[in-house]
């Protein structure tokens, strides 16, 4: 048991251009989309990076998931920033595999400072027809996967007595829509999980926050199943057909944001300036939350 007392993070601000020099970050779901963008962003800030992804599709998810080749491309992009990158196909639903991966990363890089629990899937379907696997594959990835990531990282961050944990929720984690119950429930859960862990880690200079993105331009939203959910009146809707209903989910008149806009929030939460921001939710959702949160 660690018997040292509470820690106060030093006031001195590191060089903003290399703010995360000497830090190590693990990011799940790093093969593409937002996870890849977070990896490159934190590498640019000076951190060494470890990424995981699944490497195969899931029967209950109606679009292809990240591949080993895409994971290798993220490694290439991180290394092009002059940082080291470890990558492995690890399923976030498997706690034992996550602990082994994170322990190996910490041993190889000499510790761990940042965990971004980003891996997620979106499954669609009515409560009248959802199967047990529809429910469990989504909840086990999106909620248990975030728990497994935080659980694997927590002992390392506590040992460092500096740390940042970020759980990726969603604007659906603070609101709801029909036909997406498992996803919505899992994302509400991520917020409760992060708030509770934030209180546990507060005495060790480890912050824990959630980010709630709006529609982000990745394969999770750009796929025929989601297009059909948004435009059930059309036979074969495309991106132009869904732009209006997607815009309707936001307040600012934009259908979707780019992954690097969420990475900017990740960068902020990892920065020295956010050292006393913990247990909160940062909305990156073109104003959507103005409608539904206090």
Ligand X SMILES: NC(=O)c1ccc[n+]([C@@H]2O[C@H](COP(=O)([O-])OP(=O)(O)OC[C@H]3O[C@@H](n4cnc5c(N)ncnc54)[C@H](O)[C@@H]3O)[C@@H](O)[C@H]2O)c1
Binding site for ligand X (CB under 6 A): 28-29, 31-35, 52-54, 65-66, 91-93, 118-121, 141, 145, 168, 170, 213, 215-216, 218-221
Between CA 16 and CA 57 the distance in angstroms is 39
Instruction: Tell me the sheet residues that pair with 116.
Output: 27, 166
Rounded to the nearest whole angstrom, what is the least distance from the CB of residue 74 to ligand X in the complex?
9
Residues 6+ apart with CB under 8 A from 173: 184, 187, 188, 189, 190, 191, 210, 212, 281
Q: Which is nearer to ligand X, 19 or 242 (CB)?
A: 242
Between CA 272 and CA 257 the distance in angstroms is 26
Q: Which is nearer to ligand X, 102 or 204 (CB)?
A: 102
Rounded to the nearest whole angstrom, what is the least distance from the CB of residue 227 to ligand X in the complex?
13
- C-alpha angle 173/49/266, rounded to 5°? 35
Please state the φ and ψ torsions of residue 284, each to the nearest 5 degrees. -125, 75
Q: Which is nearer to ligand X, 158 or 250 (CB)?
A: 250
Rounded to the nearest whole angstrom, what is the least distance from the CB of residue 79 to ligand X in the complex?
19
Rounded to the nearest whole angstrom, what is the least distance from the CB of residue 54 to ligand X in the complex?
4
Asked if residue 278 lies in contact with residue 208, where contact means CB atoms within 8 angstroms, the answer is: yes
DSSP string, 201-215: HGGGTEEEEEEEE-S
Q: Which is nearer to ligand X, 33 or 46 (CB)?
A: 33
268 is catalytic: no
Rounded to the nearest whole angstrom, what is the least distance from the CB of residue 176 to ligand X in the complex?
13
Between CA 164 and CA 157 the distance in angstroms is 8
Q: Which is nearer to ligand X, 28 or 41 (CB)?
A: 28
What is the rounded end-to-end Cα distance, in angstroms, of the chain? 39
Instruction: Tell me the sheet residues that pair with 25.
Output: 49, 114
How big, in percent rounded to 5, are the helix, strand and coil portions of the chain? Answer: 45, 15, 40
Q: Which is nearer to ligand X, 85 or 221 (CB)?
A: 221
Closest of 37, 52, 44, 162 to residue 99, by C-alpha: 52
* The one catalytic residue among 63, 183, 227, 268: 183
Between CA 3 and CA 268 the distance in angstroms is 30
Rounded to the nearest whole angstrom, what is the least distance from the CB of residue 31 to ligand X in the complex?
4
* Active-site annotation, residues: 183
């Amino acid at each position: 048991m660690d018997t040292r007392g509470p820690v106060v993070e030093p006031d001195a601000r590191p060089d903003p251009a290399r703010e995360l020099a000497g830090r190590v970050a693990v990011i799940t779901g790093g093969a593409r989309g937002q996870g890849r963008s977070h990896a490159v962003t934190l590498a640019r800030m000076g951190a060494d990076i470890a990424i995981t992804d699944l490497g195969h599709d899931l029967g209950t998810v109606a679009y292809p998931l990240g591949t080993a080749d895409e994971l290798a491309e993220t490694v290439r992009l991180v290394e092009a920033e002059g940082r080291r990158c470890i990558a492995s196909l690890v399923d976030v639903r498997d706690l034992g595999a996550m602990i082994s991966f994170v322990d190996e990363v910490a041993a190889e890089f000499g510790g761990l400072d940042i965990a971004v629990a980003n891996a997620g899937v979106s499954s669609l379907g009515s409560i009248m027809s959802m199967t047990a696997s529809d429910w469990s594959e989504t909840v086990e990835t999106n909620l248990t996967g975030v728990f497994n990531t935080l659980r694997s990282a927590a002992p390392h961050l506590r040992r460092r007595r500096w740390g940042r944990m970020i759980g990726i929720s969603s604007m659906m984690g603070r609101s709801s829509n029909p036909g997406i119950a498992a996803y919505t429930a899992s994302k509400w859960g991520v917020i409760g999980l992060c708030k509770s862990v934030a209180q546990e880690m507060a005495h060790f200079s480890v912050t824990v926050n959630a980010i709630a993105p709006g529609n982000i331009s990745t394969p999770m939203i750009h796929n025929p199943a989601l297009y059909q959910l948004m435009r059930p009146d059309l036979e074969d809707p495309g991106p132009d057909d869904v732009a209006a209903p997607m815009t309707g989910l936001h307040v600012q008149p934009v259908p979707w944001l780019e992954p690097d806009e969420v990475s900017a929030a990740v960068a902020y939460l990892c920065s020295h300036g956010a050292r006393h921001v913990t247990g909160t939710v940062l909305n990156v959702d073109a104003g959507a939350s103005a409608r539904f949160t206090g």
